[in-house]
Structure 1
Amino acid sequence: MTKPTSPSSAAVLPATSIVQIQYFLYFAVMGLTLPYFNLYLSHIQLDGIEIGILSGIRSGLMMVAPLTWSLIADRLKARRMVYILLNVGATLVWTGYFLTTQFPWLVVIGLLHGFLFTPIIAFLEAFSLDTLGKDKNRYGLNRLWGSVAFILVVVGCGRLFDRIGVTSILVLVLAGCGLQLAFSFWMPKDTPSKPSPDLGLPEGLRSRGAVVFLLCVFLMIASHGGYYGFISIHLEALGFDKTFTGICWAVASICEIGVMANSRRIFSRFRLKTVLMVSLCIAALRWIALSVFTTAVPILISQALHAFTYAAFHMAGILTIDRFASDRFKTFAQALNNSIGYGMGLTAGFLVSGWFYERFGYVRMFQLGALLAMCGAVVLLKWGRIPEE
């Protein structure tokens, strides 16, 4: 498979470099919203339940939006054009956050923005695998640029928000979305695809192996609900400042970069199922640690486990769902993986974790996450079947 390029991108940078820039910009925005947007919501006097609802909306739309837009893109063979339109819409809708702090209107803005922003990563994953051709084990070398951006943003903005306040997050996210929109016009052209007689949608993505895998993805990402939704608030309640919060997120990203940089070596040596299993077990250990320790050093050590619970699991998941899909459904496959995990799984995780945090506190919340991760490990061990490459 040759690397697809558009006339504009070919004259400026290789297709792989354009994809890496997009990862950088996308996760720069995520480095703002994931650790700090809930702090902004707390700053404008929303309670835990309202924050959980808004977080759940953003992830909940991944159950519908990526599948909808990916089907449109695959059917029209217009992945690049749809990707550009999503970036345009998401950037425009974000400006609504400047106009109100009222919870009902924040729900409306969250719904619109989520419907346009949440599909972007699934499209980007499909672009990334296309540019790699047959050497898909190098996926981590593309994806690690997102982690680099995440580190720079969470550390820099932790200090920045301590000085000028967390409300400046709105301007910074808008700037990041604007840059991502600008570079989206240089994304590579769509790769022509033909229907496959072997692994079409019914036989591949609806197979028992795919269903079991997606259930494990659901459980793993749901176990992260308390972490993604409330770790920054939890650290603040323990007395840590925003700089330490940024350092915690940065430590996690630094460790995940090490795994991603060695993606070819890891997946040449270990089976995908093995990587998924180890990651699920380590996730359970990580959440137990956060339920027990409240001092800086153990918390930072637990953050290093992000290399397994996110980086290794994520890369293995991207490669696994790709094996279940025919060429015709590559974009849809990545959208399905994101919808089940970061849509259904994270929505359930956010909502249940928000309730547990308010009702029982952080200890029970993280213990619930550990239980979900272990359930995923048991399901994968007993019923998991992944096609050979």
Structure 2
Amino acid sequence: MAPIPYWRLSSFYLFYFALLGSTAPFLALYFDHLGFSSARIGELVAIPMLMRCVAPNLWGWLGDRSGQRLLIVRLGALCTLASFSLIFVAKSYAWLALVMALHAFFWHAVLPQFEVITLAHLQGQTARYSQVRLWGSIGFILTVVALGRLFEWLSLDIYPVALVAIMAGIVLASLWVPNAQPPGQHERSDGGGFLRQLASPGVAAFYVCVALMQLSHGPYYTFLTLHLERLGYARGTIGMLWALGVVAEVLMFLAMSWILARFSLRRVLLASLLLAALRWWLLGSFAEYPGVLLFAQLLHAATFGSFHAAAIAFVQRSFGARQQGQGQALYAALAGTGGALGALYSGYSWNALGATITFSIASVAALVAAVIIAFRMTEEKAP
């Protein structure tokens, strides 16, 4: 068995999710700093998520047809950096919308193809995926803490510079990663193509729940920082709270191989969704209480950590080698669809209905997904 290029894979995840750690908590704050309304902020945050509905499927199809996944990753990282750099040209709503759409088209090409490369390197050792992926969470933690402190000392005008530096790190990390392809002997023997595998029992229901889960994250990723700032929390404290959630996520990743060996994917996904419903209700109704807020952030271990690890395992189990790229891309695309709808509805409802109702809608979305998992997915342990 070939050795795993652990640190090369991990370094890419570290920089990739450092970029997410710089956008999820602070992008809306930056647009608010520029003077945009909550509706415009919701729209600008939704644009990258909408591109995630289209780009991963296109790049996933290209990756499966060409087999050049690492080339797609490297070109995607480079084009992400180049297109986002256009933000220094102007700050109008139309120009920022263009920058958000253009850089996201390339950014969302990267991760699904890299997930396939990682899983190809981990053949026979799939349980180690979480041990590689946790470095992405560490990158997220380092970024939210550092930027939270930085924005207490300096103006938010420095924010685009920080993002460009992180994007350059993604480009360099992609050049360090060796290539790998899913072995052909793992192709399904029934000869079914992607659509046939998608029609397998429980697979379509799973993807619907992915979209609903990400929709429920809309208010969290779009307005949590503004929500907590208006409740009186300092930006440095808010950065630490974001980091706390990802620390819980890291600990969950470390435990996932043990959990998936003992519980079915259905049970892990169902528990994640039920805890998500609880989390959004707590954030919308009781975030002014530090103890409740700390507990809600610890639930990030379930709402992202266990859900994502179980979802990656489900996709790998459900598709053959030649459909892995499309399976991962569809996962990213439907997550983007749900995330975009979540950002849009929260942007329009935040001022009209308030934080409590907005987060309550998110809670209901997670509950609906839990019901679908309970009734449409069969019990089957991860391989």
User: Common fold, TM-score beyond 0.5?
Assistant: yes
Q: 1:237, CA displacement in angstroms? A: 1.3
Matched, 1:355 2:335: no
Matched with 1:72 is 62
Kindly report which structure 2 residues correspond to 1:174-189, keeping only aligned pairs within 5 A, or say none.
174-189=164-179
Moved more, 35-44 or 130-139: 130-139
Work out whether 1:94 is the aligned partner of 2:94.
Answer: no
Residue 367 of structure 1 is matched in structure 2 by 360
2:323 paired residue among 302, 319, 329: 329
The secondary structure found in structure 1 opposite 2:181 is: coil
Paired positions, count:
378
In the alignment, is residue 85 of structure 1 matched against residue 79 of structure 2? no
TM-score of the two chains, using structure 2 as the length reference: 0.95
RMSD, aligned α-carbons: 1.5
Structure 1 position 26, deviation (Å): 0.6
**Aligned twin of 2:189:** 197
Q: Distance in 2 between matches of 1:19 and 1:181?
A: 13
Partner letter of residue 276 of structure 2?
A
The one-letter code of the counterpart of 1:326 is: G
Deviation at 1:15, TM superposition (A): 2.4
Cα-to-partner distance string for 1:48-103 (whole Å, 9 max, x where unaligned): 11111111111111111011011111111100111111011001011111111100
CA contact (8 A) 2:63 2:113 kept: no
Among 16, 23, 30, the residue aligned to 2:6: 16
Name the CA distance, whole Å, in 2 between partners of 1:255 and 1:45: 34
CA shift, 1:385, in A, is: 3.1
Look up the match of 1:8.
Answer: none
Q: Is the 8 A contact 1:19 1:127 kept in 2?
A: no
Q: Hey, what does 1:173 align to over in structure 2?
A: 163
The aligned amino acid for 2:277 is A
Q: Distance in 1 between matches of 2:113 and 2:158?
A: 29
Secondary structure at 2:296's aligned position in 1? helix
| 1:111-154 C-alpha deviation (Å, 9 max, x unpaired) | 11110112222122212211111221221101100111111111
Q: Report how far residue 2 of structure 1 moved.
A: 4.5
Shift of 1:242: 0.7
In the TM superposition, what are the counterparts of 1:307-326 in structure 2 within 5 Å? 307-326=301-320
Q: 1:345 and 1:380 mapped to 2: Cα distance?
A: 17
For 1:244 and 1:336, locate their aligned partners in 2 and report how far apart those are by CA, in whole Å.
Answer: 36
Which deviates more from structure 2 when the two are superposed, residues 21-30 or residues 123-132? 123-132
What amino acid does structure 1 have at the position aligned with 2:138?
A: V
Counterpart in 2 of 1:35?
25
Flag structure 1 segments of 5+ consecutive residues without an equivalent. 4-13
Give 2:256's aligned residue: 263
Contact residue 87 and residue 177 of structure 1 kept, 8 A: yes
Q: Deviations 1:278-312 (Å, cap 9, x if unpaired)?
A: 00000011111112212322112110000011100
- Does residue 107 (structure 1) correspond to residue 97 (structure 2)? The answer is yes
CA 1:159–1:192: 2 relative to 1, 3 Å = closer
Pairing partner for 1:272 from 242, 259, 265:
265
For the pair 1:281 / 2:271, whether they are aligned, the reply is: no
Contact 1:65 / 1:116 at 8 angstroms: preserved in 2? Answer: yes
Q: How far is the alpha carbon of 1:163 from its aligned partner?
A: 0.5
- Tell me how far 1:192 sits from its aligned partner: 5.7
Aligned match of 2:53: 63
Q: Distance in 1 between matches of 2:249 and 2:183?
A: 33
Distance in 1 between residues matched to 2:240 and 2:276, nearest whole Å: 20
Whether contact under 8 Å (1:252, 1:307) holds in the other structure is yes
3-state DSSP class of the match of 2:177?
coil
